[in-house]
Amino acid sequence: MPENVKLRRLSLIVGLAALSASLAGCTVGPDFVSATPDAPQDWASWRSGDPSLVAAANTDAVMPANWWTSFKDPVLDTLVDEALAASPDLETAALHFAQARVQRLGTASAAVPQVGASADISRQRQSEYGAGTRLFNAIGPNRDALAKLLSQPFTLFRGGFDASWELDLWGKVRRSIEAADASVAQQGALLDQARLSVVSEVASTYFDLRTSQRDIALLREDIALLRDRISLVRARVEGGVDAHGDLDREDAALQGMEARLPALLAQEAAQANAIALLLGKMPGSLKESLASGEGHTFQLPPDLSLGLPSEVALRRPDVRAAQAGLHAATARIGVAVADLYPSIRLGGGFGLESYRSANLFDWASRNWSFGPSLDLPLFDGGQRRSVVKLRKLEQREAAVSFQRTVLKSWQEIDDALNRSAAAHQQHDSLLRKLERMQSTFDIAQASYDSGAINYLGLIDAKRSLIQARKELSDNEGLLLASYVAVNKAIGNTPEIPVASAVAHR
């Protein structure tokens, strides 16, 4: 090879390397700046309820991440563990996260040279009148003999490898990797959100189920008392003490109470099925573990420990997911902008080719090529610029979605805190009412034992006590549901590493 050709090739290689090095730090498109969500100064601010609903909250610490264990209910603990291990919703979110990580690996592969190898053996025959045999026309009378000789079938042996690498002059690959990293973070936050949602749904549905079971037990107890009362009233009517209309009214009340029982039983079954679905199980599979909660006592939730308001919004998985989505949308603008500029790809290949198998690995059988290729966009009808505009609009949409998610988070926090405060205040009143009704029943029992009142008076006092117990039971269900809602609102996600959550899937 002439020396001047070698020098030109060397200069070209050095020039391309220098150009790549000088533009390595050139990354087009806007840089993402992490936004800090707005937050109130304290938990008394940004509240829409009556001042009486603003309860004091501990800011020195936050509630435990595995907050459902505060109820010390082994059945609930088991249900949550099973849901975290087998929930279809959680499985789907984990697969989305795994897909994002795999896509990130594929995106990052564009930053390194692509190398491939190939080998083939083929049996060929060339045309006697093909383009390659035109030169034989100038040879003269031997043309046909040469063409026939060269067109005889032969076996061709080939092998080699090739490599190519697109220089990331404008940061297209870097922006693509940045967007892929943000997508991984987004799917990781959505996995946390799915985990929190599953745990919250299991806990709240479980508390609803237990409340329904206690209502069923109290209703059956009340029905039994009313039947006793009707028996006494019937005897008094037959004895001429009471009018027959009194018995009709009592019978109508009994029919109304008995009509409420099937609806409560259906509600109990639906709640059990809802829990089974969250655990990925068939209807009826939890019948034994969720047996009637008669006599089941609730461990009331502890006082709220919310931490600092400025840390709560960033702790919520949906806020983190929205911010990561905004980051990814911002990085994709740079990918689109980079397509407006020229691109340079370095490529080369080396191989061996021979129609004789014995000579395939001879040095004389080598063939090779090397050189850059330039892609210069001149005119595409505005396609590339329209993509840039589209990416900018998508970024604006992601920014609006982020702001809306932050606003929604504080609305949910305010609503949850208001419901929690209201349930606690109601609990105090109903607890005092129950104490009064218990005292009234005790007095009635003593009066009945001394003969001061008849059995009807004792039944009425007992039924009033049952009603007070039902009101308190329903309120305790609201207390537990509000505690679940507060933990969900502040983003109190269970402490399960994302990697381990996906590893077994």
What are the pLDDT digits (tens) for 206-246? Answer: 999 999 999 999 999 999 999 988 888 787 777 776 666 77
CATH topology of domain 115-166+342-376: Outer membrane efflux proteins (OEP) (2.20.200)
Q: Between these two residues, 20 and 349, which has the higher pLDDT value?
A: 349
DSSP state of 58: B
Q: What are phi and psi of 435, to 5 degrees?
A: -60, -40
Average pLDDT over residues 369-380: 85
| Radius of gyration of the chain, Cα coordinates, nearest whole angstrom | 39
Of 326, 287, 346, the C-alpha closest to 114 is 346
| Cα gap 353→157, rounded to integer Å | 6
Percent of the chain with pLDDT over 70: 89
14 pLDDT band, cuts 50/70/90, is very low
pLDDT for residue 15 is more than 60:
no
Task: Average the pLDDT over each of 59-63, 323-327, 494-498 and give the range with the smallest value.
Answer: 494-498
CA angle 491, 497, 498 (to 5 degrees): 85
This prediction has a pTM of 0.82
Q: Between these two residues, 18 and 54, which has the higher pLDDT value?
A: 54
Element (H, E) at 3: helix 3-22
Per DSSP, the three-state class of 308 is coil
- Cα 182 to Cα 170, 172, 177, 193: the distances in Å are 20, 15, 9, 16
Cβ proximity of 443 and 462 under 8 Å = no
Q: Which two tokens stand for residue 383?
A: 């396609």
Average pLDDT over residues 2-26: 52
- Cα 84 to Cα 81, 195, 205, 498: the distances in Å are 5, 7, 15, 12
| Cα gap 386→432, rounded to integer Å | 69
| Cα gap 112→122, rounded to integer Å | 32
Give the pLDDT of residue 503: 45
Average pLDDT over residues 124-138: 72
Average pLDDT over residues 360-366: 82
Give the pLDDT of residue 502: 45
Same CATH topology for 3-53+65-112+167-341+377-503 and 115-166+342-376: the answer is no
Of 156, 160, 125, the C-alpha closest to 359 is 156
497 pLDDT band, cuts 50/70/90, is very low
pLDDT for residue 3 is more than 70:
no
Percent of the chain with pLDDT over 90: 48
Predicted confidence (pLDDT) per residue in 449-463, tens digit: 888 888 888 999 999
Give the pLDDT of residue 396: 96
Per DSSP, the three-state class of 155 is strand
Q: What is the mean pLDDT of the chain?
A: 85
Q: Which residue ranges make up each domain of the chain?
A: 3-53+65-112+167-341+377-503, 115-166+342-376
Buried b (16+ CB within 10 A) or exposed e, 354-391: beeeeebeeeebeeeeeebeeeeeeeeeeeeeebbeeb
Give the pLDDT of residue 205: 96
Give the pLDDT of residue 504: 41
Average pLDDT over residues 477-496: 90
Task: Average the pLDDT over each of 37-41, 79-83, 275-279 and give the range with the smallest value.
Answer: 37-41
Average pLDDT over residues 334-362: 86
pLDDT for residue 100 is more than 70:
yes
Give the pLDDT of residue 438: 95
| Cα gap 306→189, rounded to integer Å | 20
Predicted confidence (pLDDT) per residue in 164-204, tens digit: 888 888 988 999 999 999 999 999 999 999 999 999 999 99
pLDDT for residue 269 is more than 60:
yes
Give the pLDDT of residue 422: 93
Element (H, E) at 166: strand 154-166
Q: Between these two residues, 102 and 136, which has the higher pLDDT value?
A: 102
Residue tagged 């009412």 (tokens): 433
Predicted confidence (pLDDT) per residue in 385-436, tens digit: 999 999 999 999 999 999 999 999 999 999 999 999 999 999 999 999 999 9
| Cα gap 448→461, rounded to integer Å | 11
pLDDT for residue 369 is more than 70:
yes
Sign of CA dihedral 148, 153, 157, 158: positive
List, in order, residues 6 or more apart from 299 with CB less than 8 Å away.
70, 71, 72, 73
Give the pLDDT of residue 494: 87
Q: Between these two residues, 409 and 14, which has the higher pLDDT value?
A: 409
Which class is domain 3-53+65-112+167-341+377-503? mainly alpha
Average pLDDT over residues 237-262: 81
